[in-house]
Amino acid sequence: MPDQHDVTVGQLLLAEYQTLKDEQKTRIGFRDNLLYVTLTVVAAVIAATAQAKRPDMLLALPPVCVVLGWTYLVNDEKISAIGRHIRHDVGPKLAQLARSEHAFTWETVHRSDARRRQRKVIQCGIDLLAFCVVPLAGLTVYWAAGENGAGLLVLSLVEALTVIGLASQVVVYTRPFGPTAP
């Protein structure tokens, strides 16, 4: 006879679900705030550049945008991974224990609307604009100013390649096109 203090598999799965949802919620808030931080930093760099009349200050945009963009992308991937784990592991196990066809149906239902693909494409465009197009535009302004020393020119080219690398990762991890889309 089970002791009243014994933990059941169902209780463990529910605790795991709650822990995962809490982490997902925290990551969503953090990820979404990264866009605001990026806009703030971009505005500050542009304002400082214009005030100082020093186009070389625009070289601060690529590293900042790449770090914030990569952090955004990693958090977005973890948010998606949590959802996949709930849909493919925790939910089915709990449904089986409950002798139910499904558990946590919202995890699947909210992904099935007709405009989901369109939203994902638009979000990819926004992510590319915020984290990649803006720093590339800053580099273009820097290059057009023509006040590039050899060292800063090399640095700017490395920054451009880094931003392009981030852009490729943003596209690769865009759902529903990415390697782990289901």
Cβ neighbour number for residue 92 with a 10 Å cutoff = 14
Cβ neighbour number for residue 81 with a 10 Å cutoff = 14
pLDDT of 91 > 80? The answer is yes
**Overall average pLDDT of the 64-88 stretch:** 95
pLDDT of 182 > 50? The answer is no
pLDDT of 179 > 50? The answer is no
pLDDT digits (tens, 9 = 90+) for 52-72: 999 999 999 999 999 999 999
The model's confidence at residue 170, banded by pLDDT at 50, 70 and 90, is very high
